[in-house]
Amino acid sequence: MRLRRRTLAGLAGVAAFHRPALAQAPGLRDLARIRGMTFGTAVRSEIMERDPALVALTAREAAIVVGEWEGKWDVLQPERGRFDFEPLRAVIRHAQAANQRIRGHTLLWHVAMPPWLAPALAEGPAQARAVLETHITTVLAETRAAIRDWDVVNEVIAVPPGSDNPDPTDGDLRPTPWLQALGPGYIETALRIARQADPTLRLTLNEFDLYADTRGANTKRQRLLRVVRGLLDRNCPLDAIGIQGHLQMRDPFRPEIFTAFVRSLHELGLAVLITEMDVREPDQLAPTLEARDAAVAEYATRFLQAAIDGGARTFLTWGLTDRDSWLVTDPGVARRDGQTHRGHPYDAELRPKALRAALARLFS
Ligand code: G3I
């Protein structure tokens, strides 16, 4: 087995820079599987429908996919009681054609809420719970055969002082319409409804800004641990923690701190997944594309190796290419110097970059 790994690693390493060879080399999904790991990525159905090259690349690289927007409330239930599963069904179709597993993202979030939802939640706790239960049970019934792991709740931990856009609270939970409508028990409520609806579904709590060696991230890690321990102390069903991994290279990173955090979640009996990794470059860019890509790969490698050392075994990037990333399209995170972030394994022309070679080495 060791010889095989080295052979595969050698293949993958060489192939990363010679595109024709890449087609024959094992994909990241194969390398990761041999190592007992899972690699995947987020997809966008509208792009998959029009870009066969990306479909082929995703099929070769990803063992698991997640819809970037198709599983959110504003798409699934745009009006009260009217569900639209077509975009998510497109994600499922592509995944099943490529023999990929599918993650669901996300049943409860305070973003991507359709206009009717916040007013409905404000009608009172009984109505709010009924709205939540109808959504979760309807979505899980529709997707039960195809999706066996859902981000049940997303981004529920209050953003501490010292972080971007801190929340005006010293509590552990973000002040969202969900907290306002249902109180601090809303997370447990959502998890219990999901477990009741589908006892064998993996229930994941997904969160961001948990990796850096900063005051804000350290506070957020402690807040998450308090919330998770509280849920588990009340025998609340919870199977996994998703650490998003939207990395910012401006942030200092000490592997041992992050490894200890991942390990502490693992020791609570929870699986830990990296669910949305991509990399935002620092304001001051390296002088060449090759140097930029090498720096991105190095930062991501330190993060992923630390996660592996802590017990993480599932890794998804938030897209495979620089071309389609929110890091390019979202004004809140796009660069303002006329450059575009190079935070993915492939560039805008679907050519492999140093990060793709780094992932191959990590999984070998
Ligand atoms: O809803 C339309 C749909 O009808 C249309 O067919 C489709 C294609 O044009 O676009 C859909 O709209 C946009 C969608 O992205 C696809 O581009 C939505 O208006 C837009 O709000 C949505 O943005 C997504 C955002 O979450 C909000 O849902 C981003 O793609 C996605 O990258 C971002 O992802 C979040 C994670 O869910 C949570 N973690 C942070 C991450 C980055 O913000």
- Residue range 54-76, pLDDT digits in tens: 999 999 999 999 999 999 999 99
> Which residue is associated with the tokens 């009717």?
116
Pocket of ligand 1 (CB under 6 A): 44, 46, 68-69, 72, 75, 111-112, 154, 208, 244, 276, 326
> Does residue 102 have a pLDDT over 80?
yes
Burial state string for 295-332 with b = 16 or more CB within 10 A and e = fewer than 16: bbbebbbbbbebbbebbbbbbbbbbbbbbbbbbbeeee
User: CA 5 to CA 11: how far, in whole Å?
Assistant: 10
Share above pLDDT 70 across residues of the chain, in percent, rounded to a whole number: 94
Give pLDDT, residue 195.
98
Tell me which residue of 31, 75, 35 sits closest to 313, measured CA to CA: 35
Tokens of 193: 């409804």
- Phi, psi torsion values for 132, nearest 5 degrees: -65, -45
CA of 313 to the centre of ligand 1 (A): 26
**pTM, to two decimals:** 0.93
Nearest CA to ligand 1 atom 26: 69
In whole angstroms, what is the distance from residue 300 CA to residue 277 CA?
9
Q: Which atom of ligand 1 is nearest to the CA of 244?
A: 39
The rounded Å distance from CA 178 to ligand 1 centre is: 20
Residue 3 pLDDT: 41
Nearest alpha carbon to residue 95 among 158, 146, 50: 146
At residue 9, the pLDDT reads 47
State phi, psi for 248 to the nearest 5 degrees: -120, 115
Among 69, 150, 152, 209, which is best to mutate for testing ligand 1, by the most ligand atoms less than 8 A from CB? 69
Closest-CA residue, ligand 1 atom 11, reads 69
Atom of ligand 1 nearest to the CA of 319: 32
Helices (H) and strands (E) in the chain, counts: 16, 9
Calculate what percentage of the chain has a pLDDT beyond 90: 92
Q: Note the pLDDT of residue 24.
A: 74
**Nearest atom in ligand 1 to 46's CA:** 8
Tell me the per-residue pLDDT of 326-344, one tens digit each, with 9 for 90 and over.
999 999 999 999 999 999 9
Q: pLDDT value at position 33?
A: 98
Lowest mean pLDDT among 11-15, 88-92, 344-348: 11-15
* Domain with residues 26-362, CATH architecture: Alpha-Beta Barrel (3.20)
Counting every residue, how long is the chain? Answer: 364
**69 CA → ligand 1 middle, Å:** 5
74 CA from centroid of ligand 1 (Å): 10
Question: Which residues, including other chains, have CB under 8 Å from residue 351's CB and lie 6 or more apart?
Answer: 19
Distance separating alpha carbons of residues 240 and 223, to the nearest angstrom: 16
Give me the phi and psi of 183, to 5 degrees please: 75, 180
Name the residue among 38, 40, 35, 25 with its Cα closest to residue 5. Answer: 35
What does the alpha-carbon distance between residue 196 and residue 136 come to, in Å, rounded to a whole number? 10
pLDDT tens digits along 162-210? 899 999 988 999 999 999 999 999 999 999 999 999 999 999 999 999 9
Ligand 1 mean position, distance from CA 344 (Å): 18
What is the DSSP secondary structure assignment for residue 82, as one 8-state letter? B
DSSP symbol at 148? -
Q: What is the mean pLDDT of residues 112-128?
A: 98
Report CA(234)–ligand 1 centroid distance (Å).
Answer: 34
* Mean pLDDT, residues 245-266: 98
Pocket test for ligand 1, best of 41, 50, 51, 68 (most atoms within 8 A of CB): 68
Interval between CA 68 and ligand 1 midpoint (Å):
6
Q: What is the average pLDDT score of the chain?
A: 94
- Residue the block writes with tokens 């981000």: 151
Distance in Å, CA 7 to ligand 1 centroid: 39
330 CA to centre of ligand 1 in angstroms: 9
**Could you tell me if 55 and 94 are in contact, meaning their C-beta atoms sit under 8 angstroms apart?**
yes
Instruction: Report yes or no: 230 and 188 within 8 Å, Cβ to Cβ.
Output: no
CB 213 within 8 A of CB 257: yes
Q: Is the peptide bond before 106 cis (omega within 30 degrees of 0)?
A: yes
Crossing angle for the helix pair 86-97 and 52-61, nearest 10 degrees?
Answer: 60
Atom of ligand 1 nearest to the CA of 74: 1
For residue range 9-25, list pLDDT tens digits in order: 444 444 444 445 556 78
What φ, ψ does residue 57 adopt, rounded to 5°? -65, -45
Predicted pLDDT of residue 4: 45
Residues 6+ positions from 199 with CB-CB distance below 8 Å = none
